[in-house]
């Protein structure tokens, strides 16, 4: 899973029927220090996250294996909110 | 899902039978400001989009989970038209 | 799907049994002007293409969803021959 | 599968229900000399590894095919601890 | 499928049970001239290859569709030994 930061939201009215009701968030991959590594992409939120949270994103077919995404045409889902990250004995990120 | 802009169309007469009837669009990944990030690729349109629209593209096995692509050999499908994108409280894209 | 050009052929005698009988082509991803973008990879041909053709390649699990690749260990299949590509109102490629 | 080194841990309290109970490790891809190649990502540990171990990571749908990850929304799982790597007749890594 | 060269071997004693018995080879992607393009990764050998052979690697869920990998947590499998590669009418690689 990739570490990503929630940076915004996307709105889409005309869309595949099975996507209706999902919250579409804009996220960017980050490293263990919450530094951005890559471009914005869209992930479905199934856990209820807030702005600027660091989250865990599952991609590919894994994205269809959350309780509320079964069989849906999604390829990136936020599966968890990150509380802390620790590398080599040092806490590099802590949720505030 | 990746954000992409519809930039053109592809025509293919000789093709796998299950692809007949699908509209093949040329798209390019963009960032939240509608700036192009990557090369052209081909995505099947299942929602009915127009030229220059910003869209949501699902890839991998997710592409076979739209109502009209079940079991088909497609790996990229346009699943929604983007109305707006907002990053850090600022609207970075709005459909015109 | 990626746009790719057929640049050659691969021969493999010792191989997984289910691959016997498939034509293995060497292809390279191109842009909408038929300019090469990436390295050579191998794709199974299920439509019957000729040398130098521009083709549509489906990857990942989609490659197993052609009529003749069901359940086979292939991850890239040529699903169609491209007749033309059009970007922004201009034809950028036409099959000759 | 990619070779990766275990560099730390991730803690996530609010998460998809099926992820509860899994140990989330931070790993980085390495080469055959245990030199880091890429950024940190998160993998589920199903074999019981220690800090700084070199491990084998399966990604994509393969991550759901360990005995304890069946049907779960994970896309990267540590499937084995590496004891040694040998390239061209030379041992490039040995577990200590 | 990617073209890759067998460059070595990996040994893993502590691993997911379903991986026991598989030969784990180190491979690197190459181009049509057998020139290395990318870093070392690990692929399961299901055809019986020797050192320095050029091989065909299937990745993703395709890796689970060899006769001996069904349902196993592998994401890269050597599916064939390459005898020759030909690009633009010229043989660029021939097995010796």
- The full set of domain ranges for chain C reads 2-94
Q: Tell me which residue in A79, A86, A88 faces D19 most closely, judged by beta carbons.
A: A79
- Of the candidates C96, C92, C95, C91, the one whose C-alpha atom is nearest the C-alpha of residue C80 is C95
Distance from CA of E20 to the nearest CA of D (A): 10
In 10 A of CB D87, how many CB atoms? 18
Strands C2-11 and E84-87 turn out to be: antiparallel
β-partners of residue B54 are B5
Q: 3-class DSSP state for residue C61? A: helix
Reading chain D (96 residues) residue by residue, the pLDDT tens digits are 999 999 999 999 999 999 999 999 999 999 999 999 999 999 999 999 999 999 999 999 999 999 999 999 999 999 999 999 999 999 999 999
DSSP letters for C2-50: EEEEEEEEEE-SSB-GGGTT--EEEEEEE-TTS-EEEEEEEEEESS---
Q: Which pLDDT score is estimated for B12?
A: 98
Query: How many degrees, rounded to 5, is the angle at CA A65 between CA A62 and CA A71?
Result: 105
Residue A26, chain B, CB below 8 Å: the answer is: yes
Q: Which pLDDT score is estimated for A92?
A: 98
Q: Write the pLDDT tens digit of every residue in C12-69.
A: 999 999 999 999 999 999 999 999 999 999 999 999 999 999 999 999 999 999 999 9
DSSP letters for B62-85: GGGGSTTTTT-S-SEEEEEE--EE
Contact B8 C82 (CB under 8 A): no
Q: Which pLDDT score is estimated for C13?
A: 97
Q: What is the mean pLDDT of residues E69-86?
A: 98
Contact B3 A64 (CB under 8 A): no
Cα separations in angstroms, D37 against A32, C23, D1: 15, 35, 14
Find the DSSP H helices in D33-80: none
Query: Are B41 and B9 spatial neighbours (Cβ–Cβ below 8 Å)?
Result: no
State the Rg of chain D over Cα: 14
Mutate to test the interface with B, among A11, A36, A57 (most CBs of B within 10 A): A11
Q: How many CB pairs under 8 A join A and B?
A: 101
Is 2.40.50.220 the CATH classification of the domain at C2-94?
yes
Q: Which pLDDT score is estimated for C57?
A: 98
Q: What is the mean pLDDT of residues B13-28?
A: 96
- Of the candidates A42, A33, A13, A41, the one whose C-alpha atom is nearest the C-alpha of residue A82 is A33
CA dist D9 and E94 (Å) reads 47
Global ipTM: 0.96
**Would you call A67 exposed, middle or buried from its count of C-beta atoms within 10 A (0-12, 13-18, 19+)?**
exposed
Q: Which pLDDT score is estimated for D61?
A: 98
| Alpha carbon of residue D40 to chain centroid | 11
Q: Which pLDDT score is estimated for E17?
A: 94
Contact B65 A18 (CB under 8 A): yes
Q: What is the mean pLDDT of residues E53-63?
A: 98
Q: Write the pLDDT tens digit of every residue in D1-12.
A: 999 999 999 999
Q: Tell me which residue in E11, E14, E61 faces D61 most closely, judged by beta carbons.
A: E61
Q: Which pLDDT score is estimated for A66?
A: 96
Q: Tell me which residue in B61, B81, B85 faces A14 most closely, judged by beta carbons.
A: B81
Q: Tell me which residue in E19, E26, E63 faces D79 most closely, judged by beta carbons.
A: E19
Kindly give, in sequence order, each residue whose CB lies less than 8 Å from that of residue E80, ignoring residues fewer than 6 positions away.
C12, C14, C15, C16, C19, E47, E55, E56
Residue D89, chain A, CB below 8 Å: the answer is: no
Considering the domain A1-51+65-76 in this protein, what is its CATH number?
2.40.50.220
Q: Is the pTM of this model over 0.95?
A: yes
Q: Which pLDDT score is estimated for C61?
A: 98
- Output the average pLDDT for chain A: 97
- Mark which residues 34-73 of D lie under 8 Å from A by CB: 39-43, 60-61, 63-64, 71-73
Query: Are C73 and B7 spatial neighbours (Cβ–Cβ below 8 Å)?
Result: no
Q: Write the pLDDT tens digit of every residue in B47-62.
A: 999 999 999 999 999 9
């Amino acid at each position: 899973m990739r570490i990503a930061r929630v940076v915004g939201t996307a709105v889409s009215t005309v869309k595949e029927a099975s996507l209706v009701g999902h919250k579409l968030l804009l996220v960017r991959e980050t490293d263990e220090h919450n530094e951005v590594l890559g471009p914005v992409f869209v992930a479905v939120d199934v856990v209820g996250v807030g702005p600027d949270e660091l989250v865990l994103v599952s991609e590919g077919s894994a994205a269809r294996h959350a309780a509320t995404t079964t069989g849906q045409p999604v390829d990136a889902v936020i599966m968890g909110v990150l509380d802390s990250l620790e590398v080599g004995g040092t806490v590099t990120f802590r949720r505030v």
